[in-house]
Amino acid sequence: MTDVIKLTAAETAARITNGDLTAEAVTEAHLARIDAVDEKVHAFLHVDREGALAQARAVDAQRAAGEPLGPLAGVPLALKDIFTTKGIPTTCGSKILEGWIPPYDATVTRKLKEAGVVILGKTNMDEFAMGSSTENSAYGPTGNPWDLTRIPGGSGGGSAAALASYQAPLAIGTDTGGSIRQPAAVTATVGVKPTYGGVSRYGMIAFSSSLDQGGPCARTVLDAALLHEVMAGHDPMDSTSIDAPVPAVVEAARSGNVKGMRIGVIKEFAGEGYQAGVVQRFTEAVELLRELGAQVVELSCPSFSYALPAYYLIAPSECSSNLARFDAMRYGLRAGDDGTRSAEEVTALTREAGFGPEVKRRIILGTYALSSGYYDAYYGSAQKVRTLITRDFQRAFEQVDVIVSPTTPTTAFPIGERTDDPMAMYLADLCTIPANLAGNAAMSLPCGLAPEDGLPVGLQIVAPALKDDRLYRVGAAVEAAFVTKWGHPLLEEAPQL
């Protein structure tokens, strides 16, 4: 492994700016790494070699001309294949979008390009972001770089695996119920779900519009903050985008002080289903926060027990509506169009051939939950539960500044273990879903390795909406203390590929 690919994004950007490295050389090093390991990992669905090199050369030219460079100029990034990229295939992990070349860039894609970030390619994901393991991708699973026979989390497993295998120092994910945080937890990387509305959803293929949120993925808290500032901000193209300044996340990540902060531990995030080593590492992290001068408060959020069932009504309901646009007429695949069939028949054949089993399950479930006569019993009730969960958070945040919990109940499970058991798969998001339902900001960061299997454990931090900076303040403090105490799991113990 070359030294260049082991640098953080912040270091890489600094070395490009001061002329120590060229953006082109940095991109070449990462493309070489992709060539060397991605056959095994399968983090990428598409690598845009020429586009990446052209972006990198443009940054080098900018520097040569004496123009100022942005804080991440020339740094390579892996983009989840849910964001549209003009002229570059975008599949969302689905056969139904195979061969579709978007005619426009998502706002996030545009912002990255404007900042001089080098987009290496598009990463693997569960089809339409539905899943917790990346096994629902129509293009085959991704391996966890810690153990290639295990899942890298999902739906953004490709982005997390790209970071953990040093194929990119930065990545982008989306989080509807945990798809940024859960992959971060099981790969020892950092993932942030910003406050709902903090990052534009324009050009981010919709799964569940009231929950979906794009966010940064990185190997360090500071790198995530730098990316957060580049990708966030108000966008008139997204009606749910928040018209407020981006929280000062980089400043918070640089300060990293928790003295006097009140940290909540939720009683309900424990008990049956939690792996002993995960609980042990989490308990140690809470102890560490105390040592750093934080005040730890135990809290109860009784409605959180209903978060999973509420989510699995709301998300499928919204997806059944959002995915109606894949009708064989507008994008990608068209099956059975031999001149003898009606438009309805072609639509039905295309959806039958193009959607995988999990997507079909959710469309059927959602259509049922929204149908007249059942709406009040299912979707309506789930929305009421959502309000109760939001109120639980509001009450909790009257007493504490942030809440911490394990990100996932277990470490990475073996590929294939839960594919026939959707309920077991859904449990991977037990701790992450409440923050999506309430629209809060949340982060996962590495919290050591579980003693029983040597696999990464994630610490989740949740902050009130618009207080994303608190995640970075606490995250940076915990990260620094962990590194001093135990070393960084990814930098020191990650298995060689």
Q: Which stretch binds ligand GLN (CB under 6 A): 52-60, 128-136, 229-237, 335-343?
A: 128-136
Number of shown-chain residues binding ligand GLN (CB under 6 A): 13
Told to check if 131 binds ligand GLN by CB under 6 A, we report yes
Rule CB under 6 A: which of 320-349 touch ligand GLN?
none
Query: In this chain, which of 159, 179, 195, 440 binds ligand GLN, going by CB under 6 A?
Result: 179
Q: Least CB distance from residue 172 to ligand GLN, whole Å?
A: 13
Query: In this chain, which of 155, 200, 322, 460 binds ligand GLN, going by CB under 6 A?
Result: 155
Q: Which stretch binds ligand GLN (CB under 6 A): 30-38, 171-179, 258-266, 479-487?
A: 171-179
Nearer to ligand GLN, 336 or 422 (CB): 422
Told to check if 176 binds ligand GLN by CB under 6 A, we report yes
Q: Which stretch binds ligand GLN (CB under 6 A): 129-137, 226-234, 332-340, 366-374?
A: 129-137
CB hemisphere CA count around 405 (13 angstroms) = 29
Query: In this chain, which of 130, 227, 285, 474 binds ligand GLN, going by CB under 6 A?
Result: 130
So which residues are the catalytic ones? 80, 155, 179
Q: Least CB distance from residue 175 to ligand GLN, whole Å?
A: 5
Query: In this chain, which of 132, 405, 411, 440 binds ligand GLN, going by CB under 6 A?
Result: 132
Q: Least CB distance from residue 332 to ligand GLN, whole Å?
A: 20
Q: Which stretch binds ligand GLN (CB under 6 A): 55-63, 160-168, 175-183, 231-239?
A: 175-183
Nearer to ligand GLN, 175 or 235 (CB): 175
Told to check if 191 binds ligand GLN by CB under 6 A, we report no
Nearer to ligand GLN, 34 or 205 (CB): 205
Q: Least CB distance from residue 149 to ligand GLN, whole Å?
A: 21
Q: Which stretch binds ligand GLN (CB under 6 A): 95-103, 172-180, 229-237, 397-405?
A: 172-180
Rule CB under 6 A: which of 401-440 touch ligand GLN?
429
Told to check if 216 binds ligand GLN by CB under 6 A, we report no
**Which residues would be at the binding site for ligand GLN (CB under 6 A)?**
129-132, 155, 175-179, 207, 315, 429
